[in-house]
Amino acid sequence: MMKLNLIIVSLFLLVSIGFTFMLTLSTFYQSENSTDSKFDILDSFLSGELKTAEEDVRKIIQLLKQDENIEDKFIMTSDKTYAYHTNSKLIHASFAEGSPDDSIEDFITKKNWSYYELYFSAMSSIPPHKDLYVEQIPNYLIYSYTNFSDDPNTTWYMDDDSHIKILENPEDPNIPKFLNPIYSSVFGNGGIVVYEVNLQD
Amino acid sequence: MQDLKTSVIKFQNENKLPIIVTAIFFFTFFYVSFFHHLTFTESDGIFYFLTGEQILSGYEDNIGIIGAPIGGPLLHASFGNILDDPFVAGKIISLLSCTGVVFTSFFITKNLFSRKVALVTQLFFAVNPKIAHLSIMVLNEAAPLFFIFISLYYATKKQKSTTTYALVGIFLGIAFCFRYQSVFILIAFLVYLLIFERERIFGLRNFCLTLFPFLVTISPLLIFNNLILGKFSTLSPNFYLLDLFKFQTESWRQNMVNIVDEGIFSAFSLDPFLFLKNYFYNLLFHNPDHLFKFSIDVYDTLSIIPLFPILGILPAIGGFLYITKINLNKKQLSILLSTFFITFLLIGLFGTLEYHFMLLVIIPLSVIGITNIHKIPNNVLFLLISCIIFLIFISVLPVYRAFHLFPIWLILPALSSLFFIEGIPAIQVKIKQLRHFGGTDDET
C-alpha cells in the first residue's frame, strides 16, 4: 500500500522499455516470414529468425554498382538512399503521381503528372532542379511497398488502389516488357523490387 | 581552476542519479546506433546533408527546402565534411542531442517540482520510444529539440536574471535556425511574460531582453534567406496543406496547386470554411492524437504508456488536478459539469463528436485551471501556456510524426510523475483518513 506509487511507476517504465525495445528491433530487423502482425518481430526475435532490415538496401547498392556507368544513370524511386550511395541521379517518385488510368509507361514518362507533382519531384530529386518538364527517362526503377496501410485517421491516409501496384510482383504478366526485374525481396511486412528500365530501346 | 573543479565535483555528487540515467541512455543508444545501424538509409538525413553540400558549394539556387531553415543542412554538411562521413556525423548529432534532452529534462522538471518528480520525469524521457528513435536516426529533429530544452531550462527558472532572459532568446534563436516551430515557444514565453510576470517587472523590459537576443541570433539566417534566396523564409506551408489537409475538394486542389509558393493567408482566403474545418480537425483530433493516440495504431505516440496510449492521459489529468489543488466541493463540481454539458451542446450544434470530443476534456479542465490559476506555480503555467500556444499555431498543419510535439511534451510526463510521486500518496492518506473517521463514527 505504501509503495503503490513505486510499483505503478516501475510498471509504466517496464512497459515503455519493452515497447522501445520492440520498436527499435523492428526498425533495424525484419521477420523472415511474411505476416500481418506488427508484433511478429518479437516471435522472430525469440526464434532467432531475424534478418537485418538494411540487408536488401546493401544488396541493391552492390547490384547497382556493378553497372560501370551508374554515376551517369537515373534511378526512379521514393528513397534517396540508392542514388546517394551509388553517386547516380535520382528521379523522385512517390508512386502516387499521375492519373489512376495511367499505364506504367505513362507513369515513368510523367505523362499525366500534375504541376505540383512535377514540382515536388524536381525539388526532391538528386540533384534538385527547377526544370519541371525536362525529359528524364530512368534507367532503373526501385519500387518498395508495405502491407501496412496508414492509420485511417491520419490526413495522409489513402486507400491503396494504385495503378502502379502491379510492380509489387515482378512475375505479373501485365508488367510491360521494357521493365526487366533484376532484384526482388519479400520480408515481414512488405517487399522491394528493382527493375532495369529499357524504355529508350 | 580549483573552484571549477570543486563545482563539478559538487554538481556530480548532488546529481548522481540523473547523471547515471543519462549515461545509461547514452551508452545504450550508442551501442544500437553504431553496432546495429550500419547503412545510411534515412532519406531525410541524406536530403539535409546534400542540401547543405549544395549551399556550401554555392549552388543554393536549386535547393528545395520547404519545411525547415538552412541550419540543419549546414550543420550536417559541415560536420559530415569534417569527419569525412556524413552518416557518422549525423548519428553523433542525434545521439548527443537526445542525450542532452534526457539530461536537461531532469533539470527543467526540478525547476517545477521536487527532485523525485524530476527523476521520474527523466526516466520517462529515457525510456520513451520516440526519443530512442530520434537518438538513433539521422534526422533534423534532435538538435533543435535540444536547444529548445536548454531554453526551457532557463525559462522555467524561478529566479531569472537579465542573462537568463537573453539565454532563452539565444537558444530559441539557435533552435529556430533548425526548425521554425521554436518560434511558437518564444511567443508562448513572451505572452507569459506579458501576462504573468508583468507586475514584477517594469513594462516590457524582460519581453525585450528575450526578443532582441532571439532576433540577433536568427538575423544571419534571415539575411542569408533574403539576399541569396530572395525571401525571408524557406517555409512553403501551402505545399503541406495541399498534401496533408484531410478535407479537400477538387476545385480547392486545383486552385491550391497555383498558390503553393504563396503564404498561408492565400490558402485561407481560397476557402475559409474548408480551411477552418481542417484547422479544427488538426487542433482537436489529429495533433492531440499523436500525444495519446485515440485510434488503434499504437506505433506513433508520445504517451507514457505506449502499449495503451490513451491511458497516458489519466495520470497527466491527475497531476493537473493535483497541482490546481482542486477541492471537489459543490461549486467546483457544478463548474465541471456545467462546462461539460455546455461544450457537449456546442459540439452537437457546430461540430462533430467524433473529431471534437477532446473539447469535452480540454474546456472543463481549462475552466478549472483558470479558476484556480493562483495555485499553479508560474513556471508550470508557462509550460501549460506553451502547450496551448504551440498547438494553436502548429495545428494549421497536421503534424506528420509524434516527435514533432516533443517541444511541448515535457509537461505531460512531469504532471504524470507528480501524480505518481505526490498525488497517489495524498489520495492514500485521504482514503486512510476517511476510513479512520468512518471507523470512529461506527464506534460511537
Burial B367-401 (b: 16+ CB within 10 A, else e): bbbeebeeebeebbbbbbbbbebbbeebbbbbbbe
Check whether A49 has a pLDDT greater than 80.
no
If asked whether residues A44 and A64 sit together in one domain, one would say no
> Residue A130: its chain B contacts at CB < 8 A?
61-62
Distance from CA of A201 to the nearest CA of B (A): 31
pLDDT score recorded for residue B328: 76
If asked whether residues A174 and A125 sit together in one domain, one would say yes
Assign 3-class secondary structure to chain B: CHHHHHHHHHHHHHCHHHHHHHHHHHHHHHHHHHHCCCCCCCHHHHHHHHHHHHHHHCCHHHCCCCCCCCHHHHHHHHHHHHHCCHHHHHHHHHHHHHHHHHHHHHHHHHHHCCHHHHHHHHHHHHCCHHHHHHHHCCCCCHHHHHHHHHHHHHHCCCCCCHHHHHHHHHHHHHHHCCCCCHHHHHHHHHHHHHHHCCCCCCCCHHHHHHHHHHHHHHHHHHHHHHHHHCCCCCCCHHHHHHHHCCCCCHHHHHHHHCCCCCCHHHHHHHCHHHHHHHHHHHHHHHHHHHHHCCCCCCCCCCCCCCCCHHHHHHHHHHHHHHHCCCCCCHHHHHHHHHHHHHHHHHHHHHCCHHHHCCHHHHHHHHHHHHHCHHHCCHHHHHHHHHHHHHHHHHCCCCCCCHHHHHHHHCHHHHHHHHHHHHHHHHHHHHHHHHHHHHHHHHHC
Query: What does each of the 444 residues of chain B score in pLDDT, given as a tens digit?
Result: 778 889 999 999 999 999 999 999 999 999 999 999 999 999 999 999 999 999 999 888 778 788 899 999 999 999 999 999 999 999 999 999 999 999 999 999 999 999 999 999 999 999 999 999 999 999 999 999 999 999 999 999 999 999 999 999 999 999 999 999 999 999 999 999 998 886 555 568 899 999 999 999 999 999 999 998 888 888 888 988 988 898 888 899 889 988 888 889 999 999 999 999 999 999 999 999 889 887 655 578 899 998 889 999 999 999 999 999 887 788 888 988 999 999 999 999 998 998 899 999 999 999 999 999 999 999 999 999 999 999 999 999 999 889 999 999 999 999 999 999 999 999 999 888 888 876 655 444
If asked whether residues A12 and A86 sit together in one domain, one would say no
Residues in chain B: 444
Whether residues A119 and B286 touch (CB distance < 8 A) is answered with: no
pLDDT score recorded for residue A159: 57
If asked whether residues A84 and A136 sit together in one domain, one would say yes
If asked whether residues A161 and A135 sit together in one domain, one would say yes
Mean per-residue pLDDT over chain A, rounded:
87
If asked whether residues A134 and A39 sit together in one domain, one would say no
Q: Does B43 touch chain A (CB under 8 A)?
A: yes
Check whether A96 has a pLDDT greater than 60.
yes
The domain tally of chain A equals 2
If asked whether residues A20 and A78 sit together in one domain, one would say no
Q: Does B94 touch chain A (CB under 8 A)?
A: no
If asked whether residues A46 and A59 sit together in one domain, one would say no
Q: Please tell me the least confidently modeled range out of A22-26, A155-159, B101-105, B112-116.
A: A155-159
Whether residues B41 and A153 touch (CB distance < 8 A) is answered with: no
If asked whether residues A65 and A108 sit together in one domain, one would say yes
Check whether A41 has a pLDDT greater than 80.
no
Q: In this complex, how many residue pairs, one in chain A and one in chain B, have their CB atoms less than 8 Å apart?
A: 134
If asked whether residues A12 and A91 sit together in one domain, one would say no
Q: Which domain holds residue A35?
A: 4-51
Q: Is the pTM for the entire model greater than 0.90?
A: yes
pLDDT score recorded for residue B443: 46
| B35: Cα separation from own chain's centroid | 30
Check whether A122 has a pLDDT greater than 70.
yes
From the list B39, B50, B132, the residue facing A20 with the nearest CB is B132
User: What is the rounded CA–CA span in Å between residue B411 and residue B423?
Assistant: 16
pLDDT score recorded for residue B281: 92
From the list B38, B62, B305, the residue facing A54 with the nearest CB is B38
Distance from CA of B87 to the nearest CA of A (A): 11
If asked whether residues A172 and A108 sit together in one domain, one would say yes
Q: Would you call A89 helix, strand, or coil by DSSP?
A: strand
Whether residues B132 and A24 touch (CB distance < 8 A) is answered with: yes
Tell me which residues of chain B, numbers 353 to 372, contact chain A at a CB-CB cutoff of 8 Å: none
Q: Does B404 touch chain A (CB under 8 A)?
A: no
> Residue B424: its chain A contacts at CB < 8 A?
4-5, 8
For residue A162, name the pLDDT band (cuts at 50, 70, 90): low
Return the residue of B nearest to A38 by Cα: B299
If asked whether residues A62 and A85 sit together in one domain, one would say yes
